[in-house]
Amino acid sequence: MKRTWFLLLLCLLAVSAGTALYFQRQAKISSDRAAESVRQVEDLKRQLDSLRIPEPDWNRIGKALKTDRPEAFLRSSLLSRQDLIPWEGVLGGTMAIPGPESIWFLAPAWALVYVEDGHIAGYLLFRFQIRGDRVTWTLVDKEAL
pLDDT tens sequence for the chain (145 residues): 788 888 888 888 888 888 999 999 999 999 999 999 999 999 888 888 777 788 899 999 999 999 999 999 999 999 999 999 998 888 888 899 999 999 999 989 999 999 999 999 999 999 999 988 789 999 999 999 8
Quickly list H helices, the chain.
2-51, 58-65, 70-79
Task: Give the per-residue pLDDT at 1.
Answer: 77
| C-alpha–C-alpha distance, residues 67 and 14, integer Å | 71
| C-alpha–C-alpha distance, residues 68 and 58, integer Å | 9
Tabulate helix, strand, coil % of the chain (nearest 5).
50, 25, 25
Cβ(135)–Cβ(65) under 8 Å?
yes
